[in-house]
Amino acid sequence: MRNSSTNNEERVYLTRGARAAIARLDPSRREALRDGFRRVGWQLLSSAERVSVESGWARGTWPRRRYPQQCYPKTVKYVLDHPEIQRLRLIHGVVSHPPHFVPLDHAWVELPGDIVFDGVVQTFFTRSSYYSVMAAVALDAYSAAATRRLVDTHGRPGPWNAKWVPTARQLEAYAAAVRTRQGVRIAAPLSLNVGRNR
């Protein structure tokens, strides 16, 4: 989906495998999926508070690009490309979006000063607004050194453990954490919503 207009619209970059899978779909499904990919990050970008960071922190980021389903490689790249940032942490956790709050695994980078970098939308946000909009719950945090070691050991950018499966108990714990932190009212327990077509 590298094809986009030449104006200031964001560009969507898919992995080769995703592009090949989309090419095999019938035209109506292909267009529906492409439309979905074009909306990636829309809620985050329209609702969370963006921040400007010093040029060294922004080095190598592409704020007009979107990388759906590439949170792990894009956040690992950021961490490994910025070893000079003290107290930088790669976070593996869970996020969701209204109205259904179906959780999915995700990765982001936390920086000093309560700043978050999201690799999918290539943008920096305040930590509080990011956690609120994304209904984010952190599960693991890795230093730059630990990230390098784990990438070398596993040969991939993550995830590196199976904490989030998700089980019914994990879904309920996630829903409780989101409700407690945000005062969000979820229509039904998440374990009842997951896997059902609505």
152 pLDDT more than 90 = yes
3-state secondary structure of 138: strand
148 pLDDT more than 70 = yes
Higher pLDDT, 52 or 197: 52
- Kindly state the DSSP code that residue 157 receives in the 8-state scheme: S
- pLDDT per residue as tens digits for the range 81-106: 999 999 999 999 999 876 667 788 99
- pLDDT per residue as tens digits for the range 125-144: 999 999 999 989 999 999 99
Higher pLDDT, 131 or 196: 131
Which whole number is the average pLDDT over 65-69?
A: 91
Q: Give this prediction's pTM.
A: 0.80
Q: Are strands 89-95 and 65-66 parallel, antiparallel or unpaired?
A: unpaired
Q: What is the pLDDT of residue 187?
A: 39
Task: Tally Cβ neighbours within 10 Å of residue 27.
Answer: 7
14 pLDDT more than 90 = no
- pLDDT per residue as tens digits for the range 27-60: 888 787 777 776 667 888 888 999 999 999 999 9
Q: Out of 12-26, 115-129, 141-155, pick the least confident.
A: 12-26
The C-alpha atoms of residue 140 and residue 107 are separated, in whole angstroms, by: 10
- Kindly state the DSSP code that residue 122 receives in the 8-state scheme: T
Q: What is the pLDDT of residue 129?
A: 94
Percent of the chain with pLDDT over 70: 83
